[in-house]
Homo-oligomer: A and B are copies of this chain.
Amino acid sequence: MLTTHPFDDDKLREECGVFGVYGAEGAAAMTALGLHALQHRGQEAAGITTFDGKTFHSHRAEGHVAGNFDSEHVIARLPGTVAAGHVRYSTTGDTALRNVQPLFAELVSGGFAVAHNGNISNATKLRRELVRRGSIFQSTSDTETIIHLVATSTYRTLLDRFIDALKQLEGAYSLICLTPEGMLACRDPLGIRPLVLGRLNDAYILASETVALDVVGATFLRSIEPGELVVINERGLRSLRPFESFRPRPCIFEHVYFSRPDSIVDGSSVYQVRKRIGQQLAIESPIDADIVVPVPDSGTPAAIGYAQQSGIPFELGIIRSHYVGRTFIQPGDQIRNLGVKLKHNANRALIDGKRIVLIDDSIVRGTTSIKIMQMLRDAGAAEVHMRIASPPTRHSCFYGVDTPERAKLLAAQMDVERMREFIKVDSLAFLSIDGLYKALGEEGRDDAAPQHCDACFTGDYPTRLTDQEEIEQPDQLSMLGERRAI
């Protein structure tokens, strides 16, 4: 079982990717491919549920998609032309297998499977009410709350029960559900997490990112819109708008780091946005230097943009290993920065004596930045000027992203000059918040009605944070202290 995160520990982590197929032979095999293409969105566990017209079939496993879902044996046990899949990096709920999605329940309407990207910010409160009325939870996942709300809804039809459940939710959710009556997919009213729609012959495909459409050969049709609910069944696709209207605020960090550079997110090429970020960064924070070096691979597109804008050559000054592994035993005191060297190594012959512009996508706790700097100094770098392709990350995310508690965020503790001293670089600059919006094609941030959720940079959360408020008044929550046994 391989679950190691290939990206650095010192990153915000998107915690989920979802994928769905309606109406294709080999739906499970297709979903496995789609999930593999979304693996960067969640490496701890994966699951696929299929429906063959009569029966639901499910396989869930800890670890990567490859290794768990690439055997004929596993795929053969997942028959049907309808499938939903999920990759997961846990935010709420512990890592046990019972929390691996899609979650499934047998309702009076028949089977119901759900794959969820996002986080329900009032899940704890809803759960407490449901338990009080006799519901028994199988998992510690916030997603299960949705199923119990559907199960106990007093509406008559499954669709009405589902809408009834959604209306009680607060937070971020892109959902794909399988039911005997068809596939239900929706995006929360603010559209915080992405969800796209594609077509492959007669089949509909849903995915967190367009790269998953590419891998199965599907055509990208459009994004599911914030607040949109689509019902796909044998009569085709029907779009509903069950919520009152909001100004959408999709997550801006998808463009900075979460999404793959070859994806199209809400209409923009991620690679082009990141290059424009690098260009904007070169305009905002120019410097005289010999080479532009990315922290690979997340800093690479912005570094190319910076190099093109500034005319300073782009070079691979840090080589990234293709092999994961960070738990090696340290043989003695003599090895500095062991962890970073397992993943990144200075290209010493290039670095020695050079003035370097070092590009990274963001700084979270700063633990890796300080080690990479030391590695470059050890390799003989004359100067290092660090340029960060986003504003300072100062606030936690409660919408399905793994962030350290606020106190651990470097930018929540110190200003830029103190960060520069801490990391020991010759100069340090972040992209401005308006610069980030410009790279996305806006004129700047509309502070009155922001175009994106940028709470990690601004602290401006677009929804209530009910559970979070209760945690800050923790006296009522004793029941949560009891941990559910396996």
Using CB atoms and an 8 Å cutoff, list the residues of chain A in contact with chain B. 2, 4, 6-7, 24-30, 32-33, 36-37, 39-40, 49, 54-60, 64-67, 69-72, 75, 104-108, 110-111, 113, 131-138, 147-148, 151-153, 200-201, 211, 214-217, 260-262, 264, 269, 271-272, 297, 300-301, 304, 308, 313-316, 319, 321-325, 327-332, 334-336, 338, 341-342, 345-350, 479, 481-486
Apart from A30-B331, A104-B485, A304-B314, list 4 A-B contacts with CB within 8 A. A33-B335, A36-B328, A262-B345, A269-B350
Whether A329 lies near B29 (C-beta < 8 A) is yes
* Option from B138, B215, B345, B349 in Cβ contact (under 8 Å) with A264: B349
Copies of this chain present:
4
* Option from B67, B201, B300, B350 in Cβ contact (under 8 Å) with A271: B350
Known: A201-B334, A261-B347, A485-B49. A6 touches B72 (CB 8 A): no
Residues on B with C-beta less than 8 A from A107 are 131, 136
Q: Could you tell me the distance in whole angstroms from the C-beta of A132 to the nearest C-beta in chain B?
A: 5
Whether A152 lies near B137 (C-beta < 8 A) is no
* Option from B29, B72, B328 in Cβ contact (under 8 Å) with A33: B328
User: Can you list 13 A-B pairs with a CB-CB distance of less than 8 A?
Assistant: A25-B332, A28-B331, A33-B331, A33-B342, A40-B322, A75-B329, A134-B152, A136-B147, A215-B341, A217-B335, A260-B345, A261-B316, A272-B349
Residues on B with C-beta less than 8 A from A347 are 261-262, 269, 271
Residues on B with C-beta less than 8 A from A332 are 24-26, 29-30
Known: A66-B323, A261-B347. A215 touches B342 (CB 8 A): yes
Q: Could you tell me the distance in whole angstroms from the C-beta of A124 to the nearest C-beta in chain B?
A: 13
Whether B216 lies near A335 (C-beta < 8 A) is yes
Q: Could you tell me the distance in whole angstroms from the C-beta of A291 to the nearest C-beta in chain B?
A: 11
Which of A136, A137, A151, A201 has the most chain B CB within a 10 Å cutoff?
A136
Whether B26 lies near A105 (C-beta < 8 A) is no
Residues on B with C-beta less than 8 A from A27 are 331
Whether A486 lies near B70 (C-beta < 8 A) is no
